[in-house]
Each structure stands twice: as structure tokens, then as C-alpha cells.
Amino acid sequence: MAFLAETLSRVKPSATIAVTQKARELKAQGREIISLSVGEPDFDTPENIKQAAIDAIRRGETKYTPVSGITPLREAIAAKFKRENGLDYKWQQTIVGTGGKQILYNAFLVTMNPGDEVIIPAPYWVSYPDMVLLCGGTPVFVDTKLEKNFKLQAEDLERAITKRTKWVVLNSPSNPSGAAYTRDELKALTEVLLRHPHVWILTDDMYEHLTYGDFVFTTPAQVEPTLWERTLTMNGVSKAYAMTGWRIGYAGAPDSLIKAMDMVQGQQTSGACSIAQWAAVEALNGPQDFIPKSRKVFEGRRDLVVSMLNQAKGLKCPTPEGAFYVYPSCAEALGKVSPAGKRIETDEDFVSELLQAEGVAAVHGSAFGLGPNFRISYATSNELLEQACAKIQRFCASLR
């Protein structure tokens, strides 16, 4: 009898973590590597947030917290939803988790039965389908198109819904494409969902504050308030406040779902780190001037990377509305041969040869369910981005 559970055969390791690890190994061997694989702001956590954590330590806020989070943080989350999204959640209708991943995983865990389906637009964040599989559900992928800026279309959503559909996952701005839905684009999707009252909406708004130009962020329950009763609105402090390592995600949802998630979290981790929670209170309630400053920096980086990649032979890179990723197509590189003599058959071959030839680490698009593309994170300095993009241009020119 096998010792490990059969469930493990349904999932695979995170491709983004795998690429990052490979880049680290090459660096350890003495190679000069520019890693554009990590979805993590390169800014430091703002000083007022760090100070709030220090103050919490000194006050002795070092004990277990309630499973769903400390009341001041849940109140801050409810206030944030009202202030920024026009959503009315009581603080009791919020929950705090150890990162956004725990929020998503627990939502699937408490709702999925064998045979239940979750609609996931591709390209998708690598963890969505594996979370669904671990919880006994079936991911249903709906491909998007570069020509439509990688956004789910209403008619495609309509076709994908069955009587077994339990959730549709919407991530705007998106990891990996950076695509963000306008109010009108979301309205088209919510019109479909109004016709299917058995389908719940799980909206991942983690990159909410990282949108560029005159783009205005909206979230599904804001666009169509009657969907509030079957929407889980997930967010966190990791991206906007450069707090990835603090591991605080949160969500608002109807009482029944929050109570169910609280119950399973009580048997998993219990409450998130107490000090990180007090830091998150300051992040949400304190000065927000850090956000527009970092947004402006990211927008400049986006424009730099899009411009340089579109000058690379055979690449086509759309301009995303948000997040800190681009998702260029490398379709024209397929069938060509790298300087090392390797024939490039897939986007995975492309990024592997790019890493070996030029020392630039990116993530292949097939890991996100849609290729032939690759993802680049521009959450690093302009200097490194210029160097990396020049190397990518050189690599593309070397293919024969």
C-alpha cells in the first residue's frame, strides 16, 4: 500500500517557485542571473507599518488571536471595502488568513464536493487549479486571447457554465497577464452570472491598487450589487504595501461562508501572526501616500519593458492595465534553434534556453495554462530591467 495520498498525484509543484529556485542554483554556481520570475515588489515595507509592528511587540501583542483575526483588523478591512469599493461588509463578515492563498484554499475546501467545477480563465495564477484539485473539485479552463488582452469574454463564460459549476474565479488585475477588467467588461460577465444563480464568484483583487493610466478599478459585487450574496471578495496587503513576507490576506463574504472558513481555519493554523495583523491594521488605516508613488514607478517600468520586448525579434507584448507582469507571445520563436543547438518546440524550451544563454529567468506561459507565452515580472529596478530586456533582444536575434 502506498504511503503518500493519491491526491498528490493530481497536483504539481509551483512553476514560479521552481524557476526561482533554478535561478538561485545558477547564481550559487557563479552565474550572473537576472531573475524576473518573482511576483514580489522590490520596495521595502513603509516605515509607519514597520513601526506599528514594533509597537505591537512592545505592547505584548504576542498571544494567540481569534481564528478569523483581531477585531481592529477586521474592522479596518470592512472600512476599506466600504471606502474604496463601495461594499457593505460588517466586520463579522470578514476573515484574515495567512496570505491570500489560505483564503482561497479554505473557500474551496469548505464548498467543494467531488464533481463540482470551478471555471478558471487562462492564463491563470498557477495555484488556482491545484487548490481546486486538492479540494476534490474539477478545474474548467477557458482560454482567453492576446487580441482580447487576455480577458474572459461573456459568451465564453456562458458556454463554460454547467449544472456542476460552483465557482468562477476572476483575477483583476491578473497574474500572469496584468490584464484588468473595466466596469463595462465586468458588467458583461456579471450579466451572465445573474442568469446562473447556483454559481458563486471568487474575485482575487490582490493587485487592486496597481493599475495604470486612467484605469479605474472595480470589483464584481460593486458592479452588480445583487451578486454580493454569492461573492467572496479576496484581497491582501502583500502587493500594494510591499508586505509579501508578512503573510496577511483577507476577504469579505456572506456570514455562512465566513463561518465555515473560520471553522476549518481553526483546525489548520488558527489565527494569522499577531504582529503581522497589527501591521496590517496600520497599512489599511494609516497614510496611503506610499501607493501612488510605487504605482508611478511600476507604470514607468511597464512602459520600458513593453517597449523593449516589442523591439525583440519575434516577440509580441501587449500593454497590460495593471499588476507588475507582462505576458509576451513567443510564438514566432517556435521551431527555431538556439545558440546551443537546441530546437525550441515550446515556451518552456524558450525560457530554458534564455536562462542558459543569457542568464535571464522568466516563467513559461504553459505553467499558467496558456502559451506560447512567457511571464516577466517587472518588480525590479529599471537598470536590471534594461539589462534583462537587452539580453532577451539579443537572445531572440540569435535564434535561427
Q: Does the domain at residues 6-44+290-398 carry the CATH identifier 3.90.1150.10?
A: yes
- Model pLDDT, residue 163: 98
Q: What are the Cα distances from residue 249, in Å, to 96, 98, 211, 236, 324?
A: 6, 6, 19, 4, 19
- Element (H or E) spanning 167, and its range? strand 165-171
Strands 34-35 and 360-361 turn out to be parallel
- Span 123-171, pLDDT tens digits: 999 999 999 999 999 999 999 999 999 999 999 999 999 999 999 999 9
What pairing do the DSSP bridges indicate for beta strands 249-252 and 94-97?
Answer: antiparallel
DSSP 250-268: EEE--HHHHHHHHHHHHTT
Q: Which fold has domain 63-285?
A: Aspartate Aminotransferase; domain 2 (3.40.640)
Helices marked H in 269-333 — which ranges? 274-285, 290-310
Banded pLDDT at 197 (limits 50, 70, 90): very high
Q: How far apart (Å, rounded) are the C-alpha atoms in residues 210 and 71?
A: 27
* Mean pLDDT of the chain, nearest integer: 96
pLDDT of 202:
98
Q: What's the average model confidence in pLDDT over 290-295?
A: 96
What's the mean pLDDT in 374-398?
A: 97
For residues 376 and 330, what is the distance between their CA atoms, to the nearest angstrom?
12
Overall average pLDDT of the 70-95 stretch: 98
The residue ranges of every structural domain in the chain are 6-44+290-398, 63-285
CA torsion through residues 187, 193, 197, 199, sign: negative
Contact 252, 94 (CB under 8 A): yes
Q: What percent of the chain has pLDDT over 90?
A: 92
Instruction: Quote the CA–CA distance of 195 and 154 in Å, as a whole number.
Output: 12
According to the model, what pLDDT value does residue 22 have?
81
Q: Dump pLDDT digits (tens) for 228-281.
A: 999 999 999 999 999 999 999 999 999 999 999 999 999 999 999 999 999 999
Cβ atoms of 186 and 216 within 8 Å: the answer is no
Q: What is the CB neighbour count within 10 angstroms for residue 174?
A: 29
